[in-house]
Structure 1
Amino acid sequence: MTDGGQGSLLAQPLQRPSAARVAAHAGLFLLGAVTGLAGTLVQAAWFPGGLLLALVGAAGLFLGGAYATGGRGGAVAPVAGWIVAVVLLTTARPEGDFLFAAGGTSYLFLLGGMALAVICATLGAGRQPRGGPARLGK
């Protein structure tokens, strides 16, 4: 399959990420964990507004991370932090304390957050090849 003489635009070699990109993704991971923790506390406190606030905050972080870094990895980093925090908070502790009740709101938060994670990672700005706009059929 030929690329019409535009091989330099379509097939760019992968490069090692810069230190700034690694730091940005690590910061987004931590922000995702904090958002998961805050969402866990808020979603049960003020129903239904707390649930909506938690989900909108998570979606904003996921999609904002994708646009801030210019790639879908910027959405995946906070999603990973959110999932790690939420999964760690779903386990019951030996003292009997837990943050998630066995109600519909908790399940809506967990499943809604995961659905938003997939949507935002899919809609996030993917990396585009560099160069000017091309017209087909020239």
Structure 2
Amino acid sequence: MTSANQGGGSLLAQPLQRPSGPRVLAYLGLFMLGAVVGAAGALVQGGWFPGGLLLALAGAGGLFLGGARAAGGRGGAVAPAAGWMVAVILLTASRPEGDFLFGAGVGSYLFLLGGMAIAVICATLGLGRQPSGPDVRLGK
């Protein structure tokens, strides 16, 4: 037995490497796109109450899952979700003038909690580190 197999580790495990330059740029782009979708969703969800809320959550979910599929891993869902959360948290803070974007209604709370739940679901459903291809044989 090899020493890697004695500890219960997989022989296929590889150490983590730094992401490449294009991948970092893609994650930064997804982060910024998540911030834009969060700000747009904050405006839409209050405008047309049940339809706007569903549209804002569907847009966020589509971005999170699409980012995971495009990047080929969970990081593609985490990057836009982080941008979405930063934008939404910054928009919920009240300013010294007393203005704020979110009202104290049930729609605002559903947008905040629903968006976070969708982000977790999409990051969980994101593609793992399994090889994909027609000639890959798993389990042997």
Same fold (TM over 0.5): yes
Residues 18-33 of structure 1 mapped to structure 2, 5 A cutoff: 18-33=20-35
Q: What TM-score do you get using the length of structure 1 for normalisation?
A: 0.89
The corresponding residue for 2:119 is 117
Task: Report percent identity of matched pairs.
Answer: 72
| Secondary structure of 2:25 counterpart | helix
| Secondary structure of 1:2 counterpart | helix
| Secondary structure of 1:134 counterpart | coil
Q: For 1:21 and 1:127, how far apart are their aligned partners in 2?
A: 16
The corresponding residue for 2:136 is 133
Q: What TM-score do you get using the length of structure 2 for normalisation?
A: 0.88
Amino acid at match of 1:51: L
Amino acid at match of 1:56: A
Residues 135/119 of structure 1: CA separation in 2 closer, same or farther (3 Å cut): closer
Alpha-carbon shift at residue 128 of structure 1 (Å): 1.7
Residues 126/61 of structure 1: CA separation in 2 closer, same or farther (3 Å cut): same
Q: For 2:75 and 2:137, how far apart are their aligned partners in 1?
A: 26
Gap runs ≥5 in structure 1 = none
The corresponding residue for 1:48 is 50
Alpha-carbon shift at residue 136 of structure 1 (Å): 4.1
Alpha-carbon shift at residue 13 of structure 1 (Å): 2.6
Gap runs ≥5 in structure 2 = none
The corresponding residue for 1:93 is 95
Q: CA RMSD in A?
A: 1.9
Q: For 1:136 and 1:26, how far apart are their aligned partners in 2?
A: 36
The corresponding residue for 2:36 is 34
Amino acid at match of 1:45: G
Q: For 2:87 and 2:27, how far apart are their aligned partners in 1?
A: 16
The corresponding residue for 2:65 is 63
The corresponding residue for 1:84 is 86
Q: For 2:115 and 2:138, how far apart are their aligned partners in 1?
A: 40
| Secondary structure of 2:88 counterpart | helix
Alpha-carbon shift at residue 21 of structure 1 (Å): 0.2
Residues 134/104 of structure 1: CA separation in 2 closer, same or farther (3 Å cut): same
The corresponding residue for 1:2 is 5
Alpha-carbon shift at residue 130 of structure 1 (Å): 7.1
Alpha-carbon shift at residue 12 of structure 1 (Å): 1.8
Q: For 1:67 and 1:87, how far apart are their aligned partners in 2?
A: 26
